[in-house]
Each structure stands twice: as C-alpha cells, then as structure tokens.
Amino acid sequence: MTEPAAPILIQDLHLAYGAHRVLDGLSLAVPAASITALLGGNGAGKSTTLAALLGFVRAGSGRIAVNGIDPGADPDGARRQIAYLPENVALYEHLTAVENADYLLALSGERHERGAITDALTGAGLQDRAWDQRLGGFSKGMRQKVAIAVALLRQVPVLLLDEPTSGLDPRATADFNALVSAVRDRGTAVLMVTHDLLSAADVADRIAFLEAGRVAHEADASGPDRFDVRALHARFQAGGQVAA
Amino acid sequence: MNRVRLIAGDELRLMVRNRVAVIAFVLLVLLTLVAVASSWAHQRANADLRARHAAAADAAFDAQPDRHPHRVVHYGHFIFRPLGPLAAFDPGVDSFTGNSMFLEGHRQNTANFGDVRQSSLLVRFGQLTPAFVLQVVAPLLLVFLGYGALARESERGTLRLLMLQGASRGQVVRGKLLALGIVAVLAGLPAMIGFALIAGQPGALALPMLTIAAGYFAYLALWVVLILAVSALVRRSRDALLVLVALWAVVTVLLPRIMPDVAGAAVPLRNRLQTDVAIARDLRQMGDSHNPDDPHFAAFRQQVLDRYGVTRIEDLPVNYKGLVGMEGERLTTALFDRYAGDSYAAQDRQNALVRAAGIVSPAIAIRTLSMAAAGTDFAGHRRFLEQAEAYRYDLVQRLNRLQAEGVSYADDTAIDPAADRRKRVEAGNWDAMPDFRFVGPSGSALARAALPGLLVVVGWLAAAALLLAFATRRLGDRR
C-alpha cells in the first residue's frame, strides 16, 4: 500500500531571478494534518518558496505540487487548493468584516451563512461589534483576524502562513497558534514561514531551516529527533549556520 | 454566482459607496438630461420658426403685385433648410453655418464663401448637446470611476487576494470590464432615451440612427477597455489617473481643436472678402451686356438674330432684354460655380485631413460619424447650398424667360408714362413659380457617410482590446 502524496511537495527545486539564484535544490514535503515551520535568515528563499507554491513565480527546474497540481502549469488550479495568510493582510476597506469574508469565500466557490462567518470571526478573536464595520478603521491585528477567519472557513487541503504572528502580542500569538492547530487537526497541511522560533516550536510538528535556497536542517517536534528549542535558537542567532 | 459577476458586483459596490463617484454620476445624468431637453426644445423651436418663416417668405413672394419680372429677380426670395430630427441629438455645424438664405439674380449667396467654412467639421466644441456629453463628458466620468479598477488592486495587494481565491487574471479583468461597462451603459442611457424620443419623430431614419447608436456604443466601449488597459499596465492608481486624464485631454479636447487649424494651414482657403474681390474682378472682365462694343454680347446678339432670321433686335419675336438676362445669369452662375467648386474642393481636402486625424483621436472619428449620420456635417450644409443654388438659378431663369416671353421689347424699352404698367406681368405668375423643397439624403447615404468614422472607432476598440489582452497576461506579475 502506497503512502498518499503530501499536499505540499517540493523536490529539488531551482529558481533564480536573473543571475541571482534564490532556490537551489530545495526539497520539502508537508504531509496532511501537520504543521511545518520554515525558518531561515533574510534572503534564504522563504518568501520565494511561498510564491512558487502560489504560482506567482515559476521554477527553473525541479518538481513542485500543491495537492498534486503544479502551480507553475496551473496556478489558478493550485490556488484553489490553498488558503493563504500573508504577512501584510490585504483586504477590502470599503467592505465590512462579514462582507469581506462573504466576498472572498464566494470567489473561492464557497458560500457560508452569516452565522458560520460570524462564528469564524469569533473563533479568530474578532469582537462582535467589529463584524459589520468597514475595515478602514481596523488595526493590523483585526485585519489579520478577518483573514484568519476566511482561511478557517475555506475547506482546502493547504494553508500557507507568511509571518503570521508578526506584530501580535504573546496572548494573540497563543490564540493564533491554537487556531492553526485546530486547522491542522481537521487534516490540513500547514506551511508556516516565520522568524518567530518560539511560536514555531510551540505549534509546529516539524521545523525546517532554509539556507541559501535549500533545507539545511530539519527536526521533528516529537520522538527521538525532536528539536531542542535552545539549541535551535542558538543556531538561528548564529545566522542560520546549522550543522546537518 | 460566477467570479466575473462577483468581481463586477464588488466594483459597483465600491463605486456606490464612494460618494464622489455617485455625485459625479448623478451630475452626468443631470447634464445629459439638460442637454437632451435643451437640444430638443431648441431644435423644435428652430424647426417651427423656420417652417413659419419659410411659409411667410413663400406667401410674400406669391403675393407680389403685377410686376416687371426683372424686379422680381431682384426682389429675391428667402429659403430655409428644414432640420432633420437627428439635429436635436447632434446639431453639428448647423448653428454656425445657418439654414436660411436670400436668393436673388446675378449673384450667389456669399454664405457659400463664408469664413465659417474653415475646417467646420470639428471646431464646434462646447455646445451642450447629447452628442457632446457622450463624446467628451462621459469618457471623463468613466476615467474617474475606472482608473483604479486594476491599479488599485495591484497597489493594495488585493489583486493577489483575488487570485488566491482562484480568480484568474482574465476573470478579474472581465469582472472589471463588466462593472465599468455597466456604468458606461448607465451613463449613456439618458442620452439614448433622448435618442429614442427622437426616433419616434416623423422623418427619423432608422439606418443612420442605428449607425449613431453603434458608433457611440463602440466609442464608450473603447474608453472602458482603454481605461482598464492603462489601469492594468501601471503600478499605481495615481499614475493611471494621470495617464488617463492626459489621454482624455489630448484625444477629446486638444486634437479636435488643433487638427482643424492644421488642416486650415495645410489647405488655405480664401476668406469671404478675398473671394468677393476676385469675383468682382472676374465679373468686370466677363463682359458688359449694356456695352454695344462688348465682344461677347455682340457675338451673342448676332447669334440670336441669326437664329430667328432677323437683322434687328426689335424684330425678334421675343424680348431681347430677357434673353440677355438669361445669358448674363448663365455666365455669372458659371463663374460663381467655378469659385464654389474650387472652394468645395479645398474644403474637401481640409475635411479629409481632419477625418484622417481620427486615426490619432477617436473623439474626432466619433464626431465625424455622429455629424455625418445626423446629416449636420459640412456635407449636409453643402447639400443645402447646392440645392439652393440650383433653385436660385432655375427661379431667375424662369423670371428672365417670363421677361423674354411676357414683356415685349418695345414695352420694355419704352419710357412713356404708361410704359411702366405695360412692362408688368400678372401677379398669378409668381404663384406659379415652384417653391424651394430641400431634398434630404436617404438613410443609407447618411449611414454610408458615417461608415469611415465607425470603422476608425471600431479599429481603436480592437487596438485597445489587444492592449488589454497584453496587459491582462502581465497582471499581477512582479515588476
């Protein structure tokens, strides 16, 4: 019996912007119902990895698949498999929180009753008085909660997170991590790009260090190979020079 | 609901929630309604006035007492060009060229040589008519409502958000097209309602109306596509606004003002004074019927005597003075026709240059289309002038013939106290003279005249669509 393919699968991926080589043989697999944190220094290729998964950049060589779909060949098809939470959440300021969620979910082919949307907003931590306010006056954290609610409501096999806890206080970070764990528990493959090592250690099942466009080190959250946060932190502080 | 309609719906929701956009749209609708109402009232009032004046002028001509026919030649006659219903939509050059003429013997109406003819196709900027609103104001509204449609999404990162929900570039662009297209239809609706009212009037021709409707549809569609192409190509909505306002100013205001001047400079036209002086000079050289030594009229006299087999003009069975009048009218008319022909040829070259400028300005193309189909362009004015001149010539020659056949030479040259009475012919002759009836062009002729403008607008639309297709492929790419 063959093991099902991981919803996020990257094999020997090479990608360059002109002469600048960004990904250089990157291989990574994120199985269903798991969270992988992708760490690395600035310029290590984390954002490019997400962009390649989202089909916004095309790889030079190697294999990349989102739930079996090559985002380079079928970006629209790949995106339909993904819920994505960018670092700087972009939403529509002329719409209320509920309208934003309703519009984005409808675009992705899903219709939810208002009750389901407000439940998700509540689950994301947005207070009920903000549900029907336009986003013009929302803080970054409030916008992020709306985006999280949309991501929670989307029934997709892949969730990509780009610096999700950036700018959040510890309490909000803990709440967020709980939400991500809940998403993972319903079978979603979660890839989280972050600089927040503590948060990664708190929520991730696996942690991967990206260095010069390839995974230099991977560690499990449990078992004999489970990672040591202190050791990882020390290595991270050293500029990502991680020994294999 | 499909993605295209969802995206269009959100774009329209944004416009509705933007008070500036709503106010601008309401202003456009009000402006159009005022333009339709005022043009309609103006056209009706003018048409009634012209009909009344034409009837009064005909009645005054017919009511003349017994008179010498040559006095009637100089009594003259006013004629009026009836306005077609489409003149209410696009009066074209009508307000500047006028539609009434005074006709008399020995001279053509110098309206044929007026300075107003200088590149008269397109300099008529600024009249508040439904055509002006659609040509100039509606594109500006579309620019202000649509400049950010795609640039704003790119700038704020929401374009990727749309794509991340599975919307393709094509779906995003088609959604925006649908939204701005709906706005364009709504913006053009009041003018089209006015147009439909016009269509209900007697004399309205279906083919030119369809041509006009198709032309404006293509013109507004062109602006919608062009706005979205620019919005997709630039990175910031501010830049899109700047580019589009500049484009609007150049295409709809600047070029239509400049091109007629360029045409005027390229093909100079004599002004009225120069023409009058040149014609007077030529008339002096043409011959003097009162001079017995004038070679042309001496030869003419001999030719007449030979034809009737007599040796003295007193022995002719017809009044020689009437025959001289006919010959003089033939000569002067030929001279005027030559000047008019030269002038028309120069104007045709000017107008051809201006029409060619439609390639760089769709506003020029839609104006030529609109005026040509409405019959209010220079060709329409020229049609009136040519029919008026043909009528004048026929009328004067009928009167000259009446003098030749109805007044004897002896009476015509007599100077006794009772001679004046004998020289007159019966008043019933005036009523027998035909009235002027302007024959308008057929619907197919008007539509045919508008076709080049329509082709240019459609060509622009096709080019803009290609540009948008190119921009769509690049939409959302990292630049």
For the segment B76-114, what is each residue's pLDDT rounded down to a tens digit?
777 777 777 778 788 777 767 767 777 776 666 555 444
What is the model's pLDDT at position B48? 83
Q: B422 pLDDT band (50/70/90 cuts)?
A: confident
Q: B126 pLDDT band (50/70/90 cuts)?
A: low
Torsion angle defined by CA atoms of residues B458, B464, B469 and B474, in that order, rounded to the nearest 10 degrees: 180
Residues of B in contact with A104 (CB under 8 A): 161, 165
Measuring CA to CA, which residue among B283, B255, B280, B231 is closest to residue B123? B255
**CB of A95 within 8 A of CB of A135?**
yes
What are the sequence ranges of the domains in chain B?
Answer: 3-474
Are A107 and B165 in contact (CB < 8 Å)? Answer: yes
Cβ atoms within 10 Å, residue A32: 17
**CB of B423 within 8 A of CB of B407?**
yes
Which residues 107-166 of chain B have a CB within 8 Å of chain A?
156-158, 160-166
Measuring CA to CA, which residue among A20, A24, A17, A22 is closest to residue A214? A24
- Nearest chain A alpha carbon to B19: A94
Q: Give me the residue from A54, A90, A104 closest to B156, CB to CB.
A: A90
Q: Which two tokens stand for residue B339?
A: 């000047």
Element (H, E) at A115: helix A114-123
The proportion of chain B whose per-residue pLDDT surpasses 70, expressed as a percent, equals 92
ipTM confidence:
0.81
Q: How far apart are CA B132 and CA B309, in angstroms?
A: 66
What is the model's pLDDT at position B470? 95
CATH of domain A1-81+157-244: 3.40.50.300
**CB of B461 within 8 A of CB of B221?**
yes
Q: How far apart are CA A177 and CA A174, in angstroms?
A: 5
Q: What per-residue string of b and e applies to A55-73 under the rule 16 or more CB within 10 Å gives b?
A: bbbebeebebbbbebbbbe
Q: Chain B: nearest CA to A88, how far in angstroms?
A: 9
Give the mean pLDDT of chain A.
Answer: 85
Mean pLDDT to the nearest integer, B147-155: 93
**Is it the case that residue B123 has pLDDT exceeding 60?**
no
Q: Which of B43-57, B370-384, B464-478 has the lowest mean pLDDT?
A: B43-57
What is the model's pLDDT at position B451? 92
The three state secondary structure string of chain B is CCHHHHHHHHHHHHHHHCHHHHHHHHHHHHHHHHHHHHHHHHHHHHHHHHHHHHHHHHHHHHCCCCECHHHHHHHCEEEECCCCHHHHCCCCCHHHHCCEEEEECCECCHHHHCHHHCCCCCCCCCCCCHHHHHHHHHHHHHHHHHCHHHHHHHHHCHHHHHHHCCCCHHHHHHHHHHHHHHHHHHHHHHHHHHHHHHHCCCCCCHHHHHHHHHHHHHHHHHHHHHHHHHHHHCCCHHHHHHHHHHHHHHHHHHHHHHHHHHHHHHCCCCCHHHHHHHHHHHHHHHCCCCCCCCHHHHHHHHHHHHHHCCCCHHHCCCCHHHHHHHHHHHHHHHHHHHHHHHHHHHHHHHHHHHHHHHHCCHHHHHHHHHHHHHCCCHHHHHHHHHHHHHHHHHHHHHHHHHHHHHCCHHHHHCCCCCHHHHCCECCHHHHHCCCCCCCCCCHHHHHHHHHHHHHHHHHHHHHHHHHHHHHHHHCCCCC
Q: Give me the residue from B7, B157, B168 closest to A76, CB to CB.
A: B168
Q: Which two tokens stand for residue B198?
A: 């016009």
pTM listed for this prediction: 0.82
What is the model's pLDDT at position A115? 92
**Is it the case that residue B8 has pLDDT exceeding 60?**
yes
Are A56 and B166 in contact (CB < 8 Å)? Answer: no
Q: Which two tokens stand for residue A92?
A: 């529509």
**CB of B156 within 8 A of CB of A90?**
yes
Q: A58 pLDDT band (50/70/90 cuts)?
A: confident
**Is it the case that residue A190 has pLDDT exceeding 90?**
yes
Q: A165 pLDDT band (50/70/90 cuts)?
A: confident
Chain A touched by B3 (CB under 8 Å): yes
| Chain segment B154-209, per-residue pLDDT in tens | 998 899 889 888 888 999 999 999 999 999 999 888 888 887 777 677 777 888 88
The proportion of chain B whose per-residue pLDDT surpasses 90, expressed as a percent, equals 31
Are A104 and B165 in contact (CB < 8 Å)? Answer: yes
SS3 state at A92: coil
Q: B211 pLDDT band (50/70/90 cuts)?
A: very high
Residues of B in contact with A76 (CB under 8 A): 163, 166-168
What is the model's pLDDT at position B269? 79
